[in-house]
Amino acid sequence: MRIASWNINGVKARLETVLAWLKEASPDVACFQEIKSIDDKFPKAPFEELGYHVETHGQKGFNGVALLSKHPFEEVNRRLPGDEEDEQARYIEGVVAGKTQPLRFGCLYLPNGNPVESEKFPYKLKWMDRLIEHARDTLAREEAFVLLGDYNVIPQKDDAARPQDWVEDALFKPESRARFRTLMNLGFTEAIRATNKSSGIYTFWDYQAGAWQKDNGIRIDHLLLSPEAASILTSTGIDKHVRGWEKPSDHVPVWADLSA
DNA sequence: ATGTCAGCGGTGCGCTGA
């Protein structure tokens, strides 16, 4: 079963690109971020025609996440617990039946957090604290659980082509990286790093300053596996070629195959 | 060379967020 995550940067602007990739990669489960659409305006039909069940959690203009699955959802939950006042649409969770066990997917769009001197950085850190608490509760279920999405965190120097450019950025600040480590230390396995130790593997290239042409990328899209999911991990990939397509997102799809 | 893009409000194109 192939599980994928992709920040698509707008479902309406990216519809043909996203459909082309789904036809090519045919993931069983896909988690999309930055759909930039309210739920009622999300173009579900073309995805359903490809065999997907579609669940969205969107808002007007920005943010928004969607969870697609070829298998029907047994459960869907929207919003990250821990702050009833938080209006930003950044989390959707779904459960599907695997061959031998339920499979739970937490699809997230973690706040960017820039500029760091604004209120956006503490919002990011607070959101990460809530994510850690929700992950801790969910891991206690002892299910195959994949927590995947655009984390907006560069975990290590090796995850950036030019780490020196990011030292003052919310994506690489010690406070962000420390929370990512705390999350990992709950017992997750990071799928890409578990299968590929090389440097120079990225998931995002800025639209500006010829970042793609210079391969000036960063690795910020991650799939975190619970122990039960990690034990059935077989392979992973980053569909880098998609960044070279017409009208690309600035992110590319990342995926993991599970024997489930 | 901070060199781009998407969505909004409202039908121009400056602002916001990334």
| DSSP code for A110 | -
Beta carbons of A24 and A6 less than 8 angstroms apart: no
CB-CB contact of A102 with A74 (8 Å)? yes
Mean pLDDT of A86-110: 97
Q: What is the mean pLDDT of residues A7-13?
A: 97
Going from N- to C-terminal start, the domains of chain A cover 2-258
* pLDDT at residue number A58: 96
The nt closest to A249 (CA vs C1′) is B5
State the Cα–Cα distance between residues A38 and A82, nearest whole angstrom.
23
Residues A66-77 have a mean pLDDT of 98
pLDDT for A66 equals 98
Q: Which of A53, A134, A222, A251 is catalytic?
A: A251
**Cβ A68 vs Cβ A105: under 8 Å:** no
For residue A247, which nucleotide's C1' is closest to its Cα? Answer: B5
Assess contact for A245 and A16: CB atoms under 8 A: no
Q: What is the model's pLDDT at position A37? A: 96
pLDDT for A26-52, tens place per residue? 999 999 999 999 999 999 999 999 999
- What's the confidence (pLDDT) of residue A190? 98
User: Residue A231: which of A258, A193, A254, A255 has the closest Cα?
Assistant: A258
User: Known binding site for Mg(2+): residues of A?
Assistant: 7, 34, 150, 152, 250-251
Footprint of strand B on the protein (CB under 7 A): A 9-14, 36-37, 60-63, 111-112, 114, 120, 207-210, 247
- Read off the pLDDT of residues A228-253 as tens digits, 9 standing for 90 and up: 999 999 999 999 999 999 999 999 99
User: Which architecture does CATH list for A2-258?
Assistant: 4-Layer Sandwich (3.60)
Q: Determine the protein residue whose CA lies at the shortest distance from the C1' of B17.
A: A62
pLDDT tier at A56 (50, 70, 90 boundaries)? very high
- How would DSSP label each residue in A50-80? TT-EEEEE--SSS--EEEEESSPEEEEEES-
Q: What tokens appear for A66 in the block?
A: 């969607």
